[in-house]
Structure formats: C-alpha cells, structure tokens
Amino acid sequence: MAALNPSLRSKLEGIEQRAEELSQSLAEPDITSDMERYRATTRSYAELEPLVAKFGEYRKVEEDLDGARELLTGADDEEMKQMASEEVASLEARLDALSDELRVLLLPSDPNDAKNIVLEIRAGTGGDEATLFAAELMRMYVRFAEGQKWKVRFTDLSTSSVDGVKEAILIIEGDRVYSRLKFESGVHRVQRVPATESQGRVHTSAVTVAVMPEAEDVEVEIDDNELRVDTFCSSGPGGQSVNTTQSAVRLTHLPTNLVVQCQDEKSWHKNKARAMKVLRSRLYDKMLREQQEAIAAERRGMVGTGDRAEKIRTYNFPQGRVTDHRIGFSVHNLPAVMTGEISPLLEALATHEQAERLKQEVEA
C-alpha cells in the first residue's frame, strides 16, 4: 500500500498549520484596510485549501481503516470477518488513491496558473482556408470560455475577404484560466475539403495559437521613453464616432520592436490601457520562453514546451477526429470540439504533465 512517508506527512502538517495561520489573518478586522495584503493572503489560502481538505480526508480514511482492521482481528464469526475484510480492502484502495492525489497536489505549481491570459490566434499556411479555420478556432475558445463563466474581451481583430480571421487577440479573465489553456500554444493543423474546392480534395492548413499569462505591472516594467504611441481611426462596426475619431492606439516597444494595437473601445485611454496589457504579456511571455530555453534539457519530453513551430494538434474533418500529437490522444467527436467541448483534450494534457512531473520527482 502506497501510504504517505513520514517526510510527506510532516510537510502536509506544516501546510495545515500555515493554512490555519492564514485563516486567522483573514479573520482580523483590519485586514481589508490593506488590499494588497488581503489579496495576497486570500490567494495563498486558496492555494493551500485543496491540500488541507485532501489531507483531512486522508486521515479520516486512515482512522476508518484502523477501526476496520481491529474489527477484522476481533471478529468471531465468518460473516463478520468477511464484511470486515471487504471494508479493509475498500479503505486500503481509497487510501492509496488519496496518497497519489496528495503527491500530485504537492508538486510545485506553475506560478502563472492562477492568471488571466492573452490569447492570440493567427492564420498560417493555407490562404483563405486558414483564415476560416482561425475563425472557427476563435469561436471554439470563446464558447469554452463562456462555458467556464470566464470574461472574454477582444483587443484586436483582423478579418479576411471570406469572413475568416487573419489575426485575433483576446484577453480572457476568470478562475485559473492559464492553468486550463496553457498547453494550447502551438500550430493547430486542419485537414478537410475547403468550400472552394471543386474536386473534393482534402487540403491541409495551419493556424498558430499563442497563450500568454497576463503580466501585472510589477512583473514587467515598461519605460515610457522606450515606447512609441501612434493613434489612428478605428475600422469596422461601431458607429460614426469609431470610424472618424483618432481613438485606436498602436504601441511599439522600441527595444524589442514588438507592436500592439487596440481599436475595440471608443475611448483612446481604454484602448491604450488594453494595448499595454497585451504588450506587458508579450514581454512577459518572451522572458518566460527565454527561461524555458535555458532549462530545455530538463523539460524535454514534457507537454507544454511553448514551441510555436510544433504541430501540436490535427483536426481531421473527413474522419471526425481531433488528435493531440504530443500525447497521442484522440477525440472522435470533432463537431463537439469545435463548439467548445475541449475539456477531454485539456484534461488529458494536464494528466500527462502531472505523470511526467511525478516521474521526475521519483527519479530525482
């Protein structure tokens, strides 16, 4: 039976004590007077709470198992022994499962998991067909986000002549958005017969997806002297004022030559604020990828390397199948996936990553 070793138990008891201290801090009457401290304490407590609850469940099953073993040892008749034996086997299996769950919860968490994201979708190879699929991927993520009760805001949207999407930049806000969508970065390939194909031949097109944790002001400082700000008239729907007022904003970060523009809002100030969010996130993502490249040898073989050139997934319309190439996992319900039902793919990727990290912990 894979019971917790003394070291892990001691660690969990320490976490339990820390959670109790945080709970007492949150009960202090003056804590809300310092909102930064309040948010940090709330966030820390929320991170520890699942571990504490699971450890409490583990100890309750442990107590029940001791009682069942005593009953088995002291049972006089065969029927009682049989019942006690079955109870012991059931509780031992549950204790093993809880032990595994605790080991997963004890793995170091990604510090970005709780963050909102900037999602960028761009049509790649495939011409008009690629832009049409980019539009479908965009709708897929928006519908998934709506199902999670997340908030979606568009920062920039560039369409094609066939009502496809050349580029879409969205900010998605909600509970642990990055933790759910962080493995979506990469090249998404589609295989199907385009509407414009008269011979019925299957074409292959590609769309790139980038998922970046939204950076906070304290994480990425941008010097105003390193920024060029241009204004221009917004395009697209929105009324007369949108198309005639210099409300759209284009930001150029001179040291990196990163360019971000926003024209979704009627207000210049709101467009600039949203563009700054995207720019900070791109710079933060660049910093993270540089760090990842430095430790790439340690992470080789794991899901979520962030390699933009990697074909991570294929959407095969003739076969109604979606395959994630990183883990060899397929879903045979492509229409449902395209309407936002992507949880099976996301959960398979998260499970695979956890297994890889547990294996590395054991080997270390």
User: pLDDT digit string (tens) for 29-58?
Assistant: 888 888 888 888 998 888 899 999 999 999
**CA neighbor of 145 nearest in space, from 187, 115, 183, 174:** 174
Express each pLDDT in 162-207 by its tens digit.
999 999 999 999 999 999 999 999 999 999 998 767 778 899 999 9
- The model's confidence at residue 224, banded by pLDDT at 50, 70 and 90, is confident
- pLDDT category at 236 given cuts 50, 70, 90 is low
The reported pLDDT for the residue numbered 310 is: 61
In the chain, which segments carry CATH 3.30.70.1660?
117-218+305-358
99 vs 87: CA distance, rounded Å? 18
Q: Which of these CATH numbers, 3.40.1260.10, 3.20.20.10, 3.20.20.60, 3.30.70.1660, describes 117-218+305-358?
A: 3.30.70.1660
CATH of 224-290, one of 3.30.420.40, 2.40.50.140, 3.40.50.720, 3.30.160.20: 3.30.160.20
Burial 129-158, CB ≥16 within 10 A → b, else e: bbbbbbbbbbebbbbbbeebebebebbbbb
What fold, for 6-105? Methane Monooxygenase Hydroxylase; Chain G, domain 1 (1.20.58)
Residues with Cβ within 8 Å of 62's Cβ and at least 6 positions away in sequence, in order, are 95
**Residue whose token pair is 């040291």:** 255
Q: What are the residue ranges of CATH 1.20.58 in the chain?
A: 6-105
How many Å apart are CA 134 and CA 145, to the nearest integer?
Answer: 17
Q: How many CB atoms lie within 10 A of CB 196?
A: 11
Q: Model-level pTM greater than 0.75?
A: no
Report the C-alpha gap between 245 and 254 in whole angstroms.
26
Q: Which residues of 173-193 are buried (b: 16+ CB within 10 A; e: fewer)?
A: eeeebbbbbbbbbbbbbbebe
Is the Cβ–Cβ distance between 138 and 76 less than 8 Å?
no
174 within 8 A of 148, measured Cβ to Cβ: yes
